[in-house]
Amino acid sequence: MGHSNIQLPTANFQSPSNLQEWVEEIGRLTKPARVVWLDGSDAEYERLLAEGVDTHVLIPLNPEKHPGSYLHRSHPKDVARTEQSTYICTPTKEDAGPTNNWMAPDEAHAILDRLFDGVMRTRTMYVIPFLMGPESAPSSRVGCEVTDSLYVAVNMRLMTRMGTVALKHLGQGREFFKGVHSVGTLDADHRYICHFPQERRVYSINSGYGGNALLSKKCVALRLGSWLGRQEGWLAEHMMLMGVEDPQGRITYLAGAFPSACGKTNLAMLRPPARFKGYRMWCVGDDIVWMRVGDDGRLYAVNPEAGFFGVAPGTSERTNPHMMRTIARHTIFTNVALTPEGTVWWEGLDRPEHPEGWLDWQGRPWDPARGEPAAHPNARFTAPLHQCPVIAPRWNDPHGVPIAAILFGCRRSTLVPLVYESFNWQHGVYLGATLSSETTAAATGATGLIRRDPMAMRPFCGYNMADYFAHWLTFGERLQHPPKMFRVNWFRKDERGAFLWPGFGENLRVLHWIVERCHGRAQATSTPIGHLPGPGALDTEGLDMSPEALRELFAVDRAGWLEATKRQAEFFQTFGDRFPSALWDEQQALIQRLKTMIEVGSRK
């Protein structure tokens, strides 16, 4: 069994020998019943889908309502990333830093060798070469995931440039990222997602969920990518990437880091409200960017992915019509509700008129009276980028797009204003490093708790975040034209718990101010925390909002911010001497400004 059964790719599918050797090594360990190398062709994808239906991994949806689309139900306890089972296995604990779980590489390998030994004995091992980044781009990287999950295989086809194209890039003897995945027994007590940055390897066992199992995404493009980026002088970030085209046809590109389930996908493809005639939005990516310094001293970014793995609940014609078009065909839905007509549903899609005969995300009859959601709060869809009606013409540009502004967004019901701008790059890095946000259903654990999530990268940084902040700071000198940096927060709430700001398409009002700031045309008021929109600078015309609500969104609560700096300091201290002094300086300067501030606009 195992090794001798491995069918090597033939004819027009020549794989480089270093890749073959590695696949054989993993085959000797996992001992699969069958090995299938994937070439990424349409015919192969169709075969996989058909097999998925036969084996009940996929439920075909109504072909008229959802052409080429399927529903997958995960194990009910395997529905989100599990950060407690995610490890960075660097030689020392300090290299992983206080925000990561660490395990010594030898110890981790010993555990993994035991768990993976023969784990695929009755299963098929899919070999999935994938390319991260546009074809023919020098910054693009090859990876290979082996997995015993058909669900992972079909998702990788949608999420990456997969198969032959990746092998073409790899060539002979080049380095590639190596990912080994098995659903194992799905036993959460023995779940491990272990990263070995020095070996460019990741091993994941006992979960089939997105970020735990689609290894190209968080494991390779972010955790291993961020580590490699530090060695090589670039940045791998948890960011959306979009272009804002003004009525004169000029496109300004913005990148935005928001923690999981805090609005990247929605922002990346927002529909301009009627007030913004002549504006068009172009989506380049919704979750991950790789950024480097261009020859012209500007920051350039690519989306290394080729698909969306987006949050279903809350997605609707009203909130995100472009995503509704994107997922109208060739989409895999995970953990949404199913109607008797073979259509899917989730909370926030529309009003369920007659939910008779509906099945919830676990396949049980759904009774709204029970008060449980029909779709899991972290239900997702997977669809190819090219199906997005506002996909940027440059989404495949091997050079990437030049970034004019970086947004750090958070989900905070209090304190943090709708938008403000940093004074400079170093202050911008401080705004990123002090980002904190209310937790969401994208990871297991309690939701709604404020936690520190620097640059929205806390769960995804593959090394000590103190070094990561220092790495970010170096770009201030390396960039002749650094992007402007902003903090945004669409999620402020009133006393009754309702959102103060309409969000979604109306967020263009904020983007408009940001773009105008980038071009030196919008007014700002300097406050201790940064530049806020000057009087009348942010277009609020036609919004159904009380003047009090608007005031609240732009107030600077001096006492609240002074209090916040104490919690920031506690966090900074966890990094000890390794923490960059420049960020302590920024905090001291903020405290000084707050102490001498004359309060305006706040209700306090």
Annotated catalytic residue: which of 194, 262, 283, 518? 262
**Residues 90, 201: Cα–Cα separation, whole Å:** 11
At position 286, the amino acid (one-letter code) is: D
**Residues 581, 584: Cα–Cα separation, whole Å:** 5
**Residues 467, 451: Cα–Cα separation, whole Å:** 20
Q: Considering only residues 215 through 274, tell me which ones interact with ligand SPV, judged by CB under 6 A.
A: 217-218, 260
Q: Which among 150, 209, 141 is positioned nearest to 178, based on CA atoms?
A: 141
Question: If binding means CB under 6 A, how many residues of this protein chain bind ligand SPV?
Answer: 9
Contacts of 423 (CB under 8 A, 6+ apart): 530, 531
Q: Is 314 in the site for ligand GTP (CB under 6 A)?
A: yes
Helices 425-433 and 465-478 pack at an angle, to 10 degrees, of 160
3-class secondary structure, 443: strand
Asked whether 211 and 181 are in contact (CB, 8 A), the reply is no
- Whether 262 sits among the annotated catalytic residues: the reply is yes
Q: State in angstroms the smallest separation of the CB of 149 from ligand SPV.
A: 14
**Residues 367, 388: Cα–Cα separation, whole Å:** 34
Q: Is 421 in the site for Mn ion (CB under 5 A)?
A: no
Q: State in angstroms the smallest separation of the CB of 238 from Mn ion.
A: 6
Q: Is 210 in the site for ligand SPV (CB under 6 A)?
A: yes
**Residues 267, 288: Cα–Cα separation, whole Å:** 14
Q: Is 499 in the site for ligand GTP (CB under 6 A)?
A: yes
Q: Tokens in use for 506?
A: 């109306």
Residue 307 contact, options ligand GTP, Mn ion, ligand SPV, none, Cβ 5-8 Å cut-off depending on partner type: none
Q: What is the DSSP string of 360-398?
A: -TTSSBP-GGG---SS-TT-EEEEEGGG-TTB-TTTT-T
Q: Which of 177, 276, 309, 346 binds ligand SPV (CB under 6 A)?
A: 309
**Residues 289, 442: Cα–Cα separation, whole Å:** 19
**Residues 418, 550: Cα–Cα separation, whole Å:** 9
Q: Which of 211, 409, 417, 428 binds ligand SPV (CB under 6 A)?
A: 211
Q: State in angstroms the smallest separation of the CB of 141 from ligand GTP.
A: 21
* 475 or 490: CB nearest ligand SPV: 490
* 2 or 454: CB nearest ligand SPV: 454
Q: Is 319 in the site for ligand GTP (CB under 6 A)?
A: yes
Q: Is 286 in the site for ligand GTP (CB under 6 A)?
A: yes
Task: Give the nearest residue (CB) to ligand SPV.
Answer: 211
Q: Considering only residues 9 through 68, tell me which ones interact with ligand GTP, judged by CB under 6 A.
A: none
Asked whether 199 and 177 are in contact (CB, 8 A), the reply is no
Q: Is 311 in the site for ligand GTP (CB under 6 A)?
A: yes
- Map residues 394-433 to x or -, x wherever contact with ligand GTP holds by CB under 6 A: ----------------------------------------
- Map residues 255-294 to x or -, x wherever contact with Mn ion holds by CB under 5 A: -----x--------------------------x-------
Q: State in angstroms the smallest separation of the CB of 331 from ligand GTP.
A: 15
Q: State in angstroms the smallest separation of the CB of 51 from ligand GTP.
A: 28
* 442 or 532: CB nearest Mn ion: 442
Residue 319 contact, options ligand SPV, ligand GTP, Mn ion, none, Cβ 5-8 Å cut-off depending on partner type: ligand GTP
* 30 or 74: CB nearest Mn ion: 74
**Residues 481, 478: Cα–Cα separation, whole Å:** 9
Task: Give the nearest residue (CB) to Mn ion.
Answer: 287
Asked whether 128 and 38 are in contact (CB, 8 A), the reply is yes
**Residues 328, 193: Cα–Cα separation, whole Å:** 33
Residue 211 contact, options ligand GTP, Mn ion, ligand SPV, none, Cβ 5-8 Å cut-off depending on partner type: ligand SPV
| First and final C-alpha spacing in the chain | 72
Quote the strand ranges of 14-112, DSSP E.
34-37, 59-60, 70-72, 86-88, 101-102
Q: Is 453 in the site for ligand SPV (CB under 6 A)?
A: no
Q: Is 260 in the site for ligand GTP (CB under 6 A)?
A: yes
* 381 or 425: CB nearest ligand GTP: 381
Chain residues binding ligand SPV by CB under 6 A are: 81, 210-211, 217-218, 260, 287, 309, 442
Q: Which residues are catalytic?
A: 262
Chain residues binding Mn ion by CB under 5 A are: 260, 287
